A and B are shown apart, each in its own frame.
Chain A
């Protein structure tokens, strides 16, 4: 359906391009914004434009940050010897929430996937090797990549590359999540968890 206003149409088109958003939801949001007072809508539009303007990538770990280097990389309390390698900035937030990991991060910005034309040079693997060579004092890499085929391939590749540099490469365990009842685990995960069982 063509909308009655060109301006409204443009707003709907832009909103509909957001992930998880269909045209109907976009129309609802645009109509909702029209009803808000000016101040509220201005705050939203400023937050969106600041997002692009102010947020940058940390030049050390490539996480998103307001200032470079990021708070994690510049904190004297973090252990510089241990680096956790993740795919995306959102993974950093998930791990930070645990408040257990005290090392630093390296955000790859993707995983190796030939079908998507993503090779090691398209993600920040060279930068990781550079960090190890630069004498940051990295002794352990913890790979916290998704357990799908692409995440695994990226892990193997990194392990092969940094192994000769004298760094201990580990990976996070996978299996049954804590606090979950067995009946809710999908069959494939449960089967793997059985295969990877440990002595009590």
Chain B
């Protein structure tokens, strides 16, 4: 999928920005605070319907204005040309449109333009709690499977309903048991489908991870990962063709056994919303034994693996967003990433506060690379001429 052009109105520090993108590698340079990340965030809005830097749409609105608008055109293999727009108005909320017709649900947008995002926040993936890793898995799978996203939305609702029952009826065990049953049956049914899907994606994902990690490090160290569910024992999830039906009995049992604990904590403690994805490097658990550098590379490799996984699994190539990725990388790895982007047939967007780190790839005569410079929310494309680059 190619984002051919984008238009931002009152979006963070962009009062009005219109840009035509290159179809392959787009490099955006400019000083800190110029609005580079905001451009990637705008593309992210068109793919996922939300910001990757901000928890609320309200914070994205340019100061002194009441709303923002992002519009972009896309071309792809399945749909040759379409336009996505996302508008937000204080009080009215968010509106997502495809070719000017409004989408009924936010979920209908997900997967239309697959996207992979590399951002400084990725260090949380390997270093912080399981919620980050679940969210990575969920976002990755949702873009390839609308049914999975549907299950996820339904599952979260069931958990909220169940938790409310635990709070309301925790002191009446008999009544609680009777009232929980209709929710528990659905929890196990939907939850099992989620666990089965996650386990099967993780199994396929490992090969892509090995490829990406080796490309980045050339170290021969082997990354691997295990999906760890609290509903069913790990080894039962490693089979080649695990189905939700295989998970249901164990899940039901675990859920029934935890009712007392659930009552005490007024929370559902068993289920895929508490599962984890455990990362290993040469069979050592990364979170416990990994060095800072290993964490950083591992996180980047995860995102590159996601790109490769989508490239095989989806009809359309994903859009690849890399926000300030070179700040942390040494020269050799920076070159590796840049070469990898040039070799990959998909479209990518890279922000760089220090263009000297990628000086080998800027200002050169390569039709695959488009360069943009931005200062104070004003954007200029650098045009390649006989005397080098000019604006």
- A119 cross-chain contacts in B, Cβ below 8 A: 179
Task: Establish whether residues A149 and B146, one from each chain, have CB atoms under 8 Å apart when the complex forms.
Answer: no
How many residues from A make CB contacts under 8 Å with B?
21
Q: Which of B176-226 contact A (CB under 8 A)?
A: 179, 181-183, 185-186
Q: Which of B159-176 contact A (CB under 8 A)?
A: 160-162, 164-165, 168
For the complex formed, measure the closest distance between the CB of A137 and the CB atoms of chain B, giving whole angstroms.
Answer: 27
Task: Establish whether residues A156 and B181, one from each chain, have CB atoms under 8 Å apart when the complex forms.
Answer: yes
Known: A114-B168, A119-B179, A186-B108. A153 touches B147 (CB 8 A): no
Asked whether any CB of chain B lies closer than 8 Å to the CB of A68, the reply is no
Task: Establish whether residues A149 and B186, one from each chain, have CB atoms under 8 Å apart when the complex forms.
Answer: yes
Task: Establish whether residues A191 and B146, one from each chain, have CB atoms under 8 Å apart when the complex forms.
Answer: yes
Task: Establish whether residues A115 and B185, one from each chain, have CB atoms under 8 Å apart when the complex forms.
Answer: no
Known: A149-B154, A149-B157. A112 touches B146 (CB 8 A): no
Task: Establish whether residues A186 and B182, one from each chain, have CB atoms under 8 Å apart when the complex forms.
Answer: no
Task: Establish whether residues A114 and B165, one from each chain, have CB atoms under 8 Å apart when the complex forms.
Answer: yes
Instruction: Say which residue of A148, A157, A191 sits within 8 Å of B182 (CB atoms).
Output: A157
Asked whether any CB of chain B lies closer than 8 Å to the CB of A154, the reply is yes
How many residues from B make CB contacts under 8 Å with A?
20
Task: Establish whether residues B161 and A113, one from each chain, have CB atoms under 8 Å apart when the complex forms.
Answer: yes
- A88 cross-chain contacts in B, Cβ below 8 A: none
Please measure, in the bound complex, the distance between the C-alpha atom of A187 and the C-alpha atom of B150, giving whole angstroms.
Answer: 9
Asked whether any CB of chain A lies closer than 8 Å to the CB of B34, the reply is no
- B179 cross-chain contacts in A, Cβ below 8 A: 114, 119-120, 157
- B183 cross-chain contacts in A, Cβ below 8 A: 149, 153
Task: Establish whether residues A188 and B150, one from each chain, have CB atoms under 8 Å apart when the complex forms.
Answer: yes
Task: Establish whether residues A149 and B181, one from each chain, have CB atoms under 8 Å apart when the complex forms.
Answer: no
Task: Establish whether residues A115 and B164, one from each chain, have CB atoms under 8 Å apart when the complex forms.
Answer: yes
Asked whether any CB of chain A lies closer than 8 Å to the CB of B158, the reply is yes
Please measure, in the bound complex, the distance between the C-alpha atom of A187 and the C-alpha atom of B110, giving whole angstroms.
Answer: 12
For the complex formed, measure the closest distance between the CB of B213 and the CB atoms of chain A, giving whole angstroms.
Answer: 32
Please measure, in the bound complex, the distance between the C-alpha atom of A187 and the C-alpha atom of B109, giving whole angstroms.
Answer: 12
Asked whether any CB of chain B lies closer than 8 Å to the CB of A17, the reply is no
Please measure, in the bound complex, the distance between the C-alpha atom of A192 and the C-alpha atom of B145, giving whole angstroms.
Answer: 12
Question: Which residue on chain B has the smallest CB distance to residue A147?
Answer: B154
Please measure, in the bound complex, the distance between the C-alpha atom of A37 and the C-alpha atom of B157, giving whole angstroms.
Answer: 50
Known: A114-B168, A119-B179, A188-B147. A153 touches B160 (CB 8 A): no
Task: Establish whether residues B147 and A154, one from each chain, have CB atoms under 8 Å apart when the complex forms.
Answer: no
Interface of A, secondary structure class, is: helix
Please measure, in the bound complex, the distance between the C-alpha atom of A112 and the C-alpha atom of B149, giving whole angstroms.
Answer: 24
For the complex formed, measure the closest distance between the CB of A1 and the CB atoms of chain B, giving whole angstroms.
Answer: 16
Task: Establish whether residues A114 and B182, one from each chain, have CB atoms under 8 Å apart when the complex forms.
Answer: no
Asked whether any CB of chain B lies closer than 8 Å to the CB of A91, the reply is no
- B147 cross-chain contacts in A, Cβ below 8 A: 187-188, 191-192
Asked whether any CB of chain B lies closer than 8 Å to the CB of A127, the reply is no
- A156 cross-chain contacts in B, Cβ below 8 A: 181-182, 185-186
Please measure, in the bound complex, the distance between the C-alpha atom of A154 and the C-alpha atom of B161, giving whole angstroms.
Answer: 13
Instruction: Say which residue of B146, B158, B181 sits within 8 Å of A187 (CB atoms).
Output: B146
For the complex formed, measure the closest distance between the CB of A68 and the CB atoms of chain B, giving whole angstroms.
Answer: 31
Task: Establish whether residues A114 and B108, one from each chain, have CB atoms under 8 Å apart when the complex forms.
Answer: no
Interface string of B97-116 (1 = CB under 8 A from A): 00000000000100000000
For the complex formed, measure the closest distance between the CB of B143 and the CB atoms of chain A, giving whole angstroms.
Answer: 12
Task: Establish whether residues B181 and A114, one from each chain, have CB atoms under 8 Å apart when the complex forms.
Answer: no
For the complex formed, measure the closest distance between the CB of A67 and the CB atoms of chain B, giving whole angstroms.
Answer: 36
- B146 cross-chain contacts in A, Cβ below 8 A: 186-188, 191
For the complex formed, measure the closest distance between the CB of B104 and the CB atoms of chain A, giving whole angstroms.
Answer: 9
Interface string of A149-184 (1 = CB under 8 A from B): 110111111001000000000000000000000000
For the complex formed, measure the closest distance between the CB of A141 and the CB atoms of chain B, giving whole angstroms.
Answer: 16
Question: Which residue on chain A has the smallest CB distance to residue B167?
Answer: A114
For the complex formed, measure the closest distance between the CB of A46 and the CB atoms of chain B, giving whole angstroms.
Answer: 36
Question: Which residue on chain B has the smallest CB distance to residue A157?
Answer: B182
- B161 cross-chain contacts in A, Cβ below 8 A: 113-115, 149-150, 153
Please measure, in the bound complex, the distance between the C-alpha atom of A191 and the C-alpha atom of B179, giving whole angstroms.
Answer: 30
Please measure, in the bound complex, the distance between the C-alpha atom of A154 and the C-alpha atom of B185, giving whole angstroms.
Answer: 12
Task: Establish whether residues B186 and A160, one from each chain, have CB atoms under 8 Å apart when the complex forms.
Answer: no
- A192 cross-chain contacts in B, Cβ below 8 A: 147
Interface string of A103-147 (1 = CB under 8 A from B): 000000000111100011000000000000000000000000000
Please measure, in the bound complex, the distance between the C-alpha atom of A155 and the C-alpha atom of B186, giving whole angstroms.
Answer: 11
Residues on B lying within 8 angstroms of A by beta carbon are: 108, 146-147, 149-150, 154, 157-158, 160-162, 164-165, 168, 179, 181-183, 185-186
Q: Could you give 17 example pairs across A and B, Cβ below 8 Å?
A: A114-B161, A114-B165, A114-B168, A115-B160, A115-B161, A115-B164, A120-B179, A149-B154, A149-B157, A149-B183, A149-B186, A152-B182, A152-B186, A155-B182, A157-B182, A191-B146, A191-B147
Given contacts A153-B183, A157-B181, A188-B147, 6 further A-B contacts (CB under 8 A): A114-B162, A120-B179, A149-B154, A187-B150, A188-B146, A188-B150
